[in-house]
Structure 1
């Protein structure tokens, strides 16, 4: 096994990455990983499963073995080790609302998406870094949404899990809302309102279960090609409104803690402790960017407001991060808004005066 060795030298306004020349000559491609909390790292080619065993040691027959690899104590693949927990099994008749792509005398064929954990690691300044803990947290958060929230037209369908692989989701024949807006189409008022109503329906359905989306953005919304149906997906940053929240700068919470601990006595229940991490700018709420969020459902409302501005203006927008953290909106943000300006302003207020998303906010043409 070859571990990429990287030296990071801090400069005033930039980072310099120094790679060993021999390392650069190694065959194989470097895989990228992007997250607001993790460092880009190289993939582990061994595809090992660490079933919660902290005493595993690695052996190598190479005359020049690499330094010991950091083995995360709770590897994400353990989530999908059979027997699959009942909570992660497929819902009854999972393909009820899906159309088969082909049909034979004894079977029906459906397209689907398999989403599996991608754990990567890198040696930085002599220290092993891994995204394993965050990957585990995100997959457990997404499974909680899919196995808690009832089916909904505007939420991607969950079809179950595959042993030692990952979760199975419906295949969506469409494009992201980002691609829809980037094409700068002439959206009619009726189409804008339809997108608004569908997004509102999917989000308020999730919120009725006390769960947030956590990373609502133009990239996490799919629009089907056939009927322009909105589909919400990617719930890895979802948290429960009933949880206790610790600072995102603290040590990562153990994602298995609430599963590992025995059921509390009937006198009371122990709330899960979660961290609210920033999602995609400029859709992340200012209080989330500051690490001060205490109401994840209100944070979703802010993201929803930003998306409404993009839909109304039929163009992509951006905010200066240092201004957004201070709850400041740029001059001219609502220029060109003819449908959602009043409503978007209410969603983009400071958190203590911001309005929540309500099912009754459905608009008519």
Structure 2
């Protein structure tokens, strides 16, 4: 039995929902030149064309002469009606799960071993789960069709890589395989996000802060040990669920994960075809684009398009999460300051437990402290 649910929640302070447009008007002599769509429907970037594309005022003031003499020549043909634009769709991410689904995306042995069934039958156990399927957005701009299919494909392939390459871990949702022609199947996560939990229960007691620190650190170092990064660690991408009488954190949404062995390209460069690596030598370095995650958790070098070590960027995100946990609230850093590795002087006010570590995590990328499993805090002494 499958129960579908979506554990992703948008920031309450995020941009307004995206509304598709047809042929957006130009502003004066400035017109839309190109638009880049991401997998999130309300994330899109517009590039403006500064070239003159309209008649100036003097041209409009000049009289238009009509040299047509009646009956001396045939009337001019009517203007041609432009045909509908031809849309060449990018590789559809749904083909990832086309029948038969590749064996590399199958569930690991005994995938439900760590799950608790919600019902028992005479011959079966029933589990709740999440079915995550790709969703494509298409938009017509200036008679050209735009699509986020490549970005959606890249994110699903990145997430599948995490679930199929990383060994099972208590702080990572269990991967239960794929449904042919549909999408991936994941463990059902009850409860809210870490952001929701913080709003309801802050300030957190010292022992709870240490426990949450240790769980997130263990999950991230486990991921790094397999040569991968998270890429978008934030309060919204951590789920808090009560499990066997204890609070367990689950890191979710690995769509921005990249490999430590990949060559990282900035987001504003030419799009990287996520299908290319399937037909190339697996021993050759793979090229992946690294995109900014949720502010203010995204590392400055990613915002500048200069990231060369995604695992160090995870350490910055982890430091910002610790700031929010210890202060008991969501903090903000202006993006123009964050790109310069600057943050408010009062950012660490009240951070008496993690303050020293946070400072090392928020340093410049070449001076930043890496995440180490040995940094676990002894809760008995907390």
Same topology, TM > 0.5: yes
Residues 184 and 315, structure 1, Cα contact 8 Å, conserved in 2: no
CA distance in 2, matches of 1:35, 1:220: 17
Cα offsets for 1:174-204 (capped at 9, x unmatched) = 1100111122523100000000000000000
Residues 8 and 124, structure 1, Cα contact 8 Å, conserved in 2: no
Distance 1:190 1:273, change over 3 A: same
Match of 2:227 in 1: 210
Q: 1:325 aligns with which of 329, 334, 339?
A: 339
Match of 2:322 in 1: 308
Residues 85 and 144, structure 2, Cα contact 8 Å, conserved in 1: no
Match of 1:277 in 2: 291
Match of 1:257 in 2: 276
CA distance in 1, matches of 2:335, 2:90: 35
CA distance in 2, matches of 1:296, 1:87: 25
Residues 204 and 328, structure 2, Cα contact 8 Å, conserved in 1: yes
CA distance in 1, matches of 2:289, 2:258: 8
**Counterparts of 1:1-365 in structure 2 under 5 Å?**
5-7=22-24, 9=26, 33-35=41-43, 67-68=84-85, 70-226=87-243, 227-261=246-280, 263=281, 269-364=283-378, 365=382
Residues 193 and 236, structure 2, Cα contact 8 Å, conserved in 1: yes
Residues 326 and 350, structure 2, Cα contact 8 Å, conserved in 1: yes
Q: What TM-score results when the alignment is normalised by the length of structure 1?
A: 0.82
Give unpaired runs (5+ residues) of structure 2.
Answer: 1-19, 33-39, 48-82
CA distance in 2, matches of 1:278, 1:107: 44
Q: Which moved more, 1:222-231 or 1:307-316?
A: 222-231
Q: Which moved more, 1:132-141 or 1:182-191?
A: 182-191
CA distance in 2, matches of 1:107, 1:38: 53
Residues 129 and 188, structure 2, Cα contact 8 Å, conserved in 1: yes
Q: What TM-score results when the alignment is normalised by the length of structure 2?
A: 0.79
Distance 1:223 1:38, change over 3 A: farther
CA distance in 1, matches of 2:376, 2:285: 33
Distance 1:191 1:75, change over 3 A: same
Q: Per the alignment, in what secondary structure is the counterpart of residue 193 of structure 1?
A: helix
Residues 175 and 225, structure 1, Cα contact 8 Å, conserved in 2: no
**Cα drift, residue 280 of structure 1:** 0.5
Q: Per the alignment, in what secondary structure is the counterpart of residue 305 of structure 2?
A: coil
Greater Rg over alpha carbons, structure:
2
Q: Which moved more, 1:121-130 or 1:303-312?
A: 121-130
Distance 1:9 1:225, change over 3 A: farther
Aligned pair count reads 318
Cα offsets for 1:135-187 (capped at 9, x unmatched) = 00000000000000000000111100011110000001111001111225231
Q: Per the alignment, in what secondary structure is the counterpart of residue 138 of structure 2?
A: strand
Distance 1:71 1:332, change over 3 A: same
CA distance in 2, matches of 1:297, 1:338: 25
**Cα drift, residue 34 of structure 1:** 2.8
Match of 1:56 in 2: none
CA distance in 1, matches of 2:157, 2:42: 19
Give unpaired runs (5+ residues) of structure 1.
Answer: 17-31, 40-65
Residues 8 and 125, structure 1, Cα contact 8 Å, conserved in 2: no
